[in-house]
Amino acid sequence: MELYAKKITFSKKPISIPPEYRPSYSIGLIVLILKICCQNSKSSLLKLHLINWALKSEENRESLRSFVLSNYTESSKTWGIEPSLNRALNYSVHEGVCLIVKGKYQLQEKGEELYQKIISNKEFLNEEIDFLNFLGKRKITDNRIDSIYKKWKNQNA
């Protein structure tokens, strides 16, 4: 067997990382969720995961929207726990964007400043902000999420 190449070289090429896996994108969503959808800008981990799941696709948003509009009687898809959100939450706490208070994530002053920067740019995260405004602070409470979780757990355990 004869080789024709005298020299083989490899070069590192940049790869595209989907936005939902970028910590900066996820931290921005965390800030928006805490500010727009949570009483006192404070939320349980489960609520953050539910809303983050809904923001991943139009299908998920429609599923949660239908569930809310049916006064929580229509079934909703089971949402997932996203490791990239957990990493972004860790970064957020480390950077002082939010703080864990009695087991809940609470937005801090640095997070409030980031929120102001995000909403001041009218071309950034419009779909996400519209959906979060639909949910508002009172449509999906931590107690409601806990009861949904317990119901699913009892049905599927």
What pLDDT shows up at residue 147? 77
- Are 131 and 59 in contact, with CB atoms under 8 Å apart? no
What residue spans define the domains of the chain? 19-137
CA distances to 20, 37, 82, 102, 131 from 136, in Å: 22, 5, 22, 23, 9
What pLDDT shows up at residue 22? 80
- Are 36 and 138 in contact, with CB atoms under 8 Å apart? no
List, for the chain, all residue ranges whose pLDDT scores fall below the cut of 50. 1
Residue 104: which of 91, 114, 89, 94 has the closest Cα?
89
**pLDDT tens for each residue of 13-30:** 677 777 777 888 999 999
Helix axes 126-135, 45-55, angle to 10 degrees: 130
What pLDDT shows up at residue 98? 97
Cβ neighbours, 10 Å, residue 46: 15
Spell out the residues 6+ positions from residue 74 whose beta carbon is closer than 8 angstroms to its own.
66, 67
Distance between CA atoms of 124 and 120, rounded to whole angstroms? 9
Name the pTM for this structure. Answer: 0.84
